[in-house]
Amino acid sequence: MGAAAERIVIAGGGLAGLRTVEELRSAGYRGQVTVIGAEARPPYDRPPLSKQVLRGEADDTSLRPELGSLGAQFRLGERAERLGDHVLLTGRGEYPFDRLVIATGARPVALPGPGPQRFLRTLDDALALREALVPGARLVVIGAGWIGAELATAALARRCRVCVVEAGPAPLAGAVGAEVGAVTAPWYERAGARLRLGEAVASVEDGGIVLACGEWLAADVIVTAVGVRPEVGWLDGSGVALEDGVRVDDHLASSVEGVYAVGDCAAFWSARFGRRMRPEHWDVALRAPAVLAANLAGGDQRYDPVPYFWSEQFGRMLQYVGDHKGADRLVWRGDPRGEAWSACWLASGEAGDRLVAVLTVGLPRELSQARRLIEAASPVRADRVADPAVPLRDAVSGGG
């Protein structure tokens, strides 16, 4: 790292911020590091919030209770408010920097209405929601995405009465498309939850919600889970280019020299998938800081991952790898009415079909094979991909 890079400030005290500090130290940086975190809690893990925490199996998911060994200054409970000329400003002070890492994450989207709506984004959210999910409580979850499904699963285990309302045509339609998402719809009823599809919410009220059709749904607890938006409003007027988050290149550098972004708020260009991406997944916050730290230390690493996500819902393990938005066709692998199957997306090219995304249900080994094929951009035979008797690794064109 250049001698001028004496001070690094990290805006964001979550997993991405913590991992950036750890990777900087691993890369040999011994200069001053200051972490500004909006939450008063030390960095913690988010995936368990909708699982172990809601089920009552954990109360704390702190990642590193002892932060002193990192040799960094953590200013927790302090929010980044404005970016000046090589200085980060908060409500409590100013933090000059030579390099700034933006890792402020994302915030939940709220719906209209005066009624109390809860979210599941922070550990405090999860602990408060767990207290409200008492047996017999009427829970309405707005949104049948990954979080909505996991929340419904946990609430059913706590013997709540659960209704999930989704504006789209199927669960997970925004994440994996309506055709694949529709396969998961029967899981709700079998588990004991009501699922209302194609129902937009007009207003969240005290004691329930009003649907766009005018129908009233009574609820003791309302949780809005319709997505998140990158937490980048504080960068308005700073000169940092924004495009569904902080626009960064494949080195994770922003449009302003010395300013970088990582995690849920970073929209990076993927040469692999030919578009700008902003995956809101734990895997990004975990792995991207290694690339960033290497570059801050003078390296020339490019960030172009194969996105990965996993979910536990209604007794099933779902894993998704890749990006299906540029796919030409969907190939089913196994019977989606069964307990173990995969959905595979293929994209055509000059060299033939290649695998670009896979969703597996109950097939963890298949997921790892799919990831390697996507990373290698290997041409595959669609007929072999569709045959569950053929290991995915053997679906490569010219194989067996």
As a three-state string, the secondary structure of 136-203 is CCEEEEECCCHHHHHHHHHHHHCCCEEEEEECCCCCCHHHHCHHHHHHHHHHHHHHCCEEEECCCEEE
Average of pLDDT values for 235-240?
96
Q: How many CA atoms lie within 13 A of 77 on its CB side?
A: 2
Cα separation, 62 vs 65, in Å, equals 6
pLDDT at 4 over 70: no
pLDDT at 3 over 50: no
Cα separation, 306 vs 371, in Å, equals 7
Give the DSSP H/E element, type plus range, for residue 100.
strand 99-102
The radius of gyration of the chain's CA atoms, rounded to the nearest angstrom, is 22
In b/e form, how buried is each residue of 145-171, taking b as 16+ CB within 10 angstroms? bbbbbbbbbbbbebebbbbbbbbbebb
pLDDT cut 90: percent of the chain above it: 93
Q: How many residues are there in the chain? A: 400
What is the per-residue pLDDT for 376? 93
What is the per-residue pLDDT for 399? 55
pLDDT tens track for 130-176: 999 999 999 999 999 999 999 999 999 999 999 999 999 999 999 99
Average of pLDDT values for 81-103?
96
Written as six digits, the tokens of 395 are 């679906």
Average of pLDDT values for 72-98?
96
Contact 383, 353 (CB under 8 A): no
As a three-state string, the secondary structure of 39-52 is CCCCCECCHHHHCH
Written as six digits, the tokens of 241 are 């280019």
pLDDT at 2 over 50: no
DSSP 58: -
Contact 16, 283 (CB under 8 A): no
Contact 162, 192 (CB under 8 A): yes
Q: What is the mean pLDDT of the chain?
A: 95
Q: What is the CATH number of domain 315-394?
A: 3.30.390.30
Average of pLDDT values for 375-396?
94
Written as six digits, the tokens of 160 are 């709540």
Q: How far is CA 175 from CA 143, 150, 167, 179, 307, in A?
A: 12, 14, 14, 11, 12
Average of pLDDT values for 93-107?
97
Q: Which residues contact 104 (CB under 8 A, 6 or more apart)?
A: 11, 12, 38, 80, 230, 231, 232, 234, 265
Contact 295, 311 (CB under 8 A): no
Boundaries of CATH 3.50.50.60 in the chain? 7-107+228-296, 110-224
Confidence band (pLDDT; 50, 70, 90) for 107? Answer: very high
CATH fold for the domain made of 110-224: FAD/NAD(P)-binding domain (3.50.50)
pLDDT tens track for 301-342: 999 999 999 999 999 999 999 999 989 999 999 999 999 999
Boundaries of CATH 3.30.390.30 in the chain? 315-394
pLDDT at 393 over 90: yes
Contact 145, 120 (CB under 8 A): no
CA triple 208-212-216, angle to 5 deg: 30
Angle of helix 282-296 relative to helix 15-26, nearest 10 degrees?
30
Confidence band (pLDDT; 50, 70, 90) for 49? Answer: very high
pLDDT at 400 over 60: no
What is the per-residue pLDDT for 301? 95
pLDDT at 113 over 50: yes
What is the per-residue pLDDT for 349? 83
Q: Which residue reads 């449009």 in tokens? A: 255
pLDDT tens track for 173-232: 999 999 999 999 999 999 999 999 999 999 999 999 999 999 999 999 999 999 999 999
CATH fold for the domain made of 7-107+228-296: FAD/NAD(P)-binding domain (3.50.50)
DSSP string for residues in 290-328: HHHHHHHTT---------EEEEEETTEEEEEEE--TT-S
